[in-house]
């Protein structure tokens, strides 16, 4: 066999072995979607939008089998509380991401010299307002799941492998964590800034 033929066969084998594409990894379950959520040190709007997408997918997805959920589940009651806490936690993360995204477009203070740019500022502030109002919806959802996780049937039952979820539940229950108060304050401020911009008619 000629040397050129051997080289051609070798190259063909090499390409066949090392260019095989692996099967796509299909994401089906809540836990899998949640793993795609991540926070960058410096988070840009596209990062927030990506995270919101994955978190919303996680919120809507089914739970995986308890033996694959990432913690040691030993009873149906523990599994039930885990599900309530997880859904509460996802909604809290959706609030955080909407707050981060809203702050990108937020204009904290309005000055008289903003008049020439008021249309651009108004557009940005409307995006901020939409983000904050959407976060209010997720806060209502988080409180609902927190209430379910606080049921008396779970007394003395703690998901210790997800202690930070338990901490979030406790902080909501005691009122230490109250996004409604924060969001309503921010919404009121943004609406005031929008009205102030709309009333401007001078240019500088």
pLDDT tens digits along 69-80: 888 888 999 999
pLDDT band (50, 70, 90) for residue 204: low
Measured between alpha carbons, how far is 37 from 33 in angstroms, rounded to an integer?
Answer: 7
Identify whether the C-beta of residue 131 lies closer than 8 Å to the C-beta of residue 97: no
- Residues 86-111: tens digit of each pLDDT: 999 999 999 999 999 999 999 999 99
CA dihedral for 120, 126, 127, 132, sign (positive or negative): positive
Residue 35: per-residue pLDDT: 92
Which of 182, 150, 151 is closest to 166 using CA atoms? 150
Mean model confidence pLDDT for the chain: 87
CA atoms within 13 A on the CB side of 127: 15
Please, which residues have CB within 8 angstroms of residue 82's CB and are 6 or more apart in sequence?
Answer: 66, 69, 71, 73, 159, 162
Average pLDDT over residues 54-80: 90
Residue 67: per-residue pLDDT: 84
Judge whether residue 22 has pLDDT over 60. Answer: no
pLDDT band (50, 70, 90) for residue 166: very high
Judge whether residue 38 has pLDDT over 60. Answer: yes
Average pLDDT over residues 163-178: 95
Residue 184: per-residue pLDDT: 97
């Amino acid at each position: 066999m000629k040397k050129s033929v051997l080289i051609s066969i070798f190259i063909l084998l090499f390409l066949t072995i090392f260019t095989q594409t692996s099967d796509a990894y299909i994401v089906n379950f809540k836990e899998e979607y949640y793993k795609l959520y991540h926070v960058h040190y410096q988070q840009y709007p596209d990062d927030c939008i990506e995270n919101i997408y994955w978190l919303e997918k996680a919120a809507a997805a089914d739970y995986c089998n308890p033996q694959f959920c990432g913690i040691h589940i030993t009873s149906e009651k523990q599994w039930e509380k885990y599900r309530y806490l997880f859904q509460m936690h996802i909604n809290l993360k959706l609030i955080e991401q909407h707050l981060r995204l809203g702050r990108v477009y937020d204009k904290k203070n309005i000055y008289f010299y903003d008049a020439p740019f008021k249309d651009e500022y108004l557009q940005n502030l409307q995006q901020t307002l939409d983000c904050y109002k959407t976060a209010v919806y997720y806060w209502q959802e988080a409180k609902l799941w927190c209430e379910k996780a606080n049921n008396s049937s779970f007394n003395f039952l703690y998901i210790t492998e997800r202690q930070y979820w338990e901490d979030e539940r406790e902080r909501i229950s005691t009122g230490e964590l109250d996004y409604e108060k924060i969001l309503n304050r921010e919404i009121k401020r943004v609406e005031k800034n929008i009205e102030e911009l709309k009333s401007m008619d001078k240019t500088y």
